Amino acid sequence: MSVTYKLDTFEGPLDLLLHLIDKAEVDIYDIPIKEITDQYMDYLAAMQELELEVTSEFLVMAATLLAIKSKMLLPKPPVELEQDDSYWMDEEFDPRDELVARLIEYRRIKAAALQLRDMEMERSLIYTREPEDLTPYLPTEPPNPVEGLGVNDLVRAFRKAMLRMATRNTVTKIRKDEISVKDRMYEVVDRLKQAGGKLLFSKLLDGHATRDSIVVTFLALLELMKVKRIVCYQHKLFDDIVIHAREDEAADGLPTDEISY
């Protein structure tokens, strides 16, 4: 009659011991060393019978288990007290303590390794795209107009500007332009005639219009609206003002006698 052995693969003697402890459903802090040692020796015997290679660490653990088993069978030596002739047994000494500590540490490391393996399997299910060149999508930066310039260049430019200011003739004459609202009213009427009776307010002012000319133009428009010569309106808010000449009034003979400014 043939006997078939089916042996699991273990990474080391501690892995085998944990398997035997879990299989026997015993407390790791109170290992039945005789039972576990017998099962461990049976496993090594099965490996040798199947002509499997038994590494030295498995044999070292077997010797360790046999030594612990022997110590467990021997009576505990009494400890003599210093001030008394009585004896007491060292109940705290347990030859299994070192092995239990190694098994607990190995179980913790094995659990961490299993967690890392699960994380690796999870990550392997995620497809990672190869990085691509995103340079064409970057916003183009305008060239720096002061690139390559240093502090010395700025100091030289400042000195040149100060020299030009020192040699510049700062004396000038300021002449005040007298702008009459009456004259501006006639100008607006003339411009309306040239434009066909309809004109935008922005067309009355050129790019060099001063504050005084803008104010006078507004006053002239208000006076023309007052005498009912023009109508002003906007198509929408903040839009340009549209100036429209009234067709029921003559273009000449503006009643400007009361306007003295």
pLDDT given for residue 87 in this prediction? 45
Name the pLDDT band for 6 (thresholds 50, 70, 90). very low
Report pLDDT digits (tens) over 109-154: 888 989 999 999 998 888 888 888 888 888 888 888 778 878 888 8
- CA dihedral for 203, 208, 210, 213, sign (positive or negative): negative
pLDDT given for residue 28 in this prediction? 78
Tell whether the model's pLDDT for residue 248 goes beyond 60.
yes
Domain chopping of the chain, boundaries: 13-123, 181-245
Query: Is residue 66 within 8 Å of residue 37, measured between CB atoms?
Result: yes
Report pLDDT digits (tens) over 178-209: 778 888 888 888 888 888 888 888 888 877 77
pLDDT given for residue 258 in this prediction? 59
CATH superfamily name and code, 181-245: Structural maintenance of chromosome 1. Chain E (1.10.10.580)
Q: Which residues make beta-bridge pairs with 99?
A: none
Name the pLDDT band for 1 (thresholds 50, 70, 90). very low
Determine what percent of the chain is predicted with pLDDT higher than 90.
3
Query: Is residue 102 within 8 Å of residue 14, measured between CB atoms?
Result: yes
Report pLDDT digits (tens) over 74-109: 766 665 555 454 444 445 567 788 888 888 898 898
Report pLDDT digits (tens) over 33-80: 888 888 888 888 887 776 566 678 888 888 888 888 788 777 666 655
